[in-house]
Structure 1
Amino acid sequence: MDMLSFDFMQRAFAAGIIIALLASIMGVFIVLRRMSMIGDSLSHAALAGVAGAMLIGINTSYGALAFSCIAAFLIEAIRSSFNKYAEVALAVVLSGGMGLAAVLISLGKSFNTDLMSYLFGSLVAVSSQDLIIISILGSFLMFSMVLLYKELFAVTFDEETAKLAGIPVKAVNICFMLMTAVVVTLSIRIVGALLISALIVIPAAVSVQLAGSFKSTFFISAVVAVFSVISGLYISFLFDLAPGGTIVLIAAAILMIVLLVKKLKGALN
């Protein structure tokens, strides 16, 4: 039977493609800013939000979004205090989010099984309501990235020069963090909290190796991410595997192949 005849697979593919596009585009800025761990930091905060929402009985998407946005503000606040050591902010929020998630999960022992889909992703976890939320927020994020493209470009490569050019660097950084938080929150259903960072970073890493211009970096990253998600969902359906892990393994394999081919070409030359 054709897998697309199942409603849950239609929702999974639609949500997966939207998430792949968002994660890959944000990933380019994240990798170039040397903040590759931001996905891990925000995803652990989002996981704490999921656990907290389950504990008090509200929609988990709202809890994840609230906690990841708070974490985004904290990262930017801490980062401003450690200008030369931005990774400190990521480490602090990551460990804090993980600790809070562990405490909340231990308080709600009855929903530990339900959390597995948030940790590694699930094909059946994406509801019609989730797809609507992902579509609306995804469209808003795409519009925001286009609108702020020049500002994000300037801040990514040189914050000091951007300040001199009159760009509100602090406001742009806060917007960037919040957009990343939303992308991470939306991605948890398909990829899982433990693996979303890889979907953000790996396609961008592939594009950095292959792209000849800044704009082509986005295109290559998006192609790698969409291919990884579509093939990962297909394989995970056929063999009953965790979709998040399958998607990430495919993306990682692409990166390894690209690096190997480049190394062989370098050796031959």
Structure 2
Amino acid sequence: MLEFAFMRKALLAGLLLSIMIPMIGVVMVNRKTSMIGDALSHTALAGVGMGLILGFDPLIGSAIICVIAAFLIELIRKRFPQYGDMATAVIMSTGLGIAAILSDFAPGGNSFESYLFGSISSVTNMDVINISLVFVAILCASIAGYSGLLAISIDPNLARLSGVKVKAMNAVFTFLSAITIALAVKIVGALMVTSLIVLPVATSLIVARSYKSAYLLTIGLGIVYMMVGIILSFYLDIKPGGAIVVNAVLGMLVFVLYRKVRKA
């Protein structure tokens, strides 16, 4: 497996993403905004379509669209706080509608489909470089803003009174989340990214007794799910996104059984 260059690139990119995505997933789940990840991953398809049609890197298009969509969602949620879910649904519907139209004009149906469910053979050196740069940014932001993000997750108003720069931290988190989701589309697939955001967090919450333990366990589970999914994708010739999600679901069931046995 490792004798193939595309697999080495896919495993490296997958390893970095498997750490990045759970990092933002923990915060999203605690803020009860995990569906925003779903909206962004689907909206990213519009950027992919633009890139395929206009002849530039589809990931650049998906990153641009994701960032715009993420800040639009935040803007609508602030203007109409009582309709937070509506903002997410509106942006996702708009992005999917545009993506559906652009898919009819995108050259090569297989290319567009690979972004739906992920592909390990299409990862390039530039993808690895881009993911590595964003990984460093997220790692630094997560370490530096760990306590601030925790405070915001619990109560934004209390965090503001405690001296946390809520607006600035939310802006940075929103930007990095959008970029991460856009980059993950190529390997995990636009339809599967949300599963990797939510399922490792949901699994860790079954047994974790603190935010820190949930945070670390989520990252560990993300790595296991991603690596096993990519390896199964190679040997079984299946879509990596589907393999990763099935692993995550099975992992969650194992933890549920473990908790029941421990209680018994």
TM-score interval (norm. to shorter): over 0.9
Identity %: 38
Alpha-carbon distance between aligned partners in 2 of 1:36 and 1:226, rounded to the nearest angstrom: 19
Deviations 1:8-49 (A, max 9, x none): 110011000100000111111111111121221111121110
The answer (yes or no) to whether the contact 1:232–1:243 under 8 Å persists in 2 is: yes
Scaled by the length of structure 1, the TM-score of the pair is 0.94
Alpha-carbon distance between aligned partners in 2 of 1:39 and 1:132, rounded to the nearest angstrom: 23
The answer (yes or no) to whether the contact 2:134–2:176 under 8 Å persists in 1 is: no
Q: Does 1:195 align with 2:192?
A: yes
Aligned residues: 264
Equivalence for 2:221 = 224
Alpha-carbon distance between aligned partners in 2 of 1:49 and 1:107, rounded to the nearest angstrom: 13
Q: Residue 144 of structure 1: CA displacement?
A: 1.5
Q: Does 1:182 align with 2:179?
A: yes
Alpha-carbon distance between aligned partners in 2 of 1:156 and 1:221, rounded to the nearest angstrom: 16
Letter in 2 for 1:195: M
Deviations 1:197-252 (A, max 9, x none): 00111001111111122111111101111111111111111110111110110011
Which 4+ runs in 1 deviate beyond 6 A?
none
SS in 2 for 1:37: helix
Instruction: Please list, as runs of the form range in 1=range in 2, the aligned pairs for 1:112-261 lying within 5 A after superposition.
Output: 112-261=109-258
Q: Residue 114 of structure 1: CA displacement?
A: 0.7
Unpaired runs of at least 5, structure 1: none
Equivalence for 2:71 = 73
Equivalence for 1:46 = 44
Q: Does 1:90 align with 2:114?
A: no
The answer (yes or no) to whether the contact 1:82–1:88 under 8 Å persists in 2 is: no
SS in 2 for 1:192: coil
SS in 2 for 1:130: helix
The answer (yes or no) to whether the contact 2:18–2:226 under 8 Å persists in 1 is: yes
Alpha-carbon distance between aligned partners in 2 of 1:199 and 1:157, rounded to the nearest angstrom: 22
The answer (yes or no) to whether the contact 1:21–1:225 under 8 Å persists in 2 is: yes
Alpha-carbon distance between aligned partners in 2 of 1:154 and 1:37, rounded to the nearest angstrom: 21
Letter in 2 for 1:228: Y
SS in 2 for 1:107: coil
Unpaired runs of at least 5, structure 2: none
RMSD: 1.4
Q: Residue 170 of structure 1: CA displacement?
A: 2.3
Q: Residue 264 of structure 1: CA displacement?
A: 4.6
SS in 2 for 1:136: helix
Q: Residue 145 of structure 1: CA displacement?
A: 1.6
Q: Residue 71 of structure 1: CA displacement?
A: 0.6
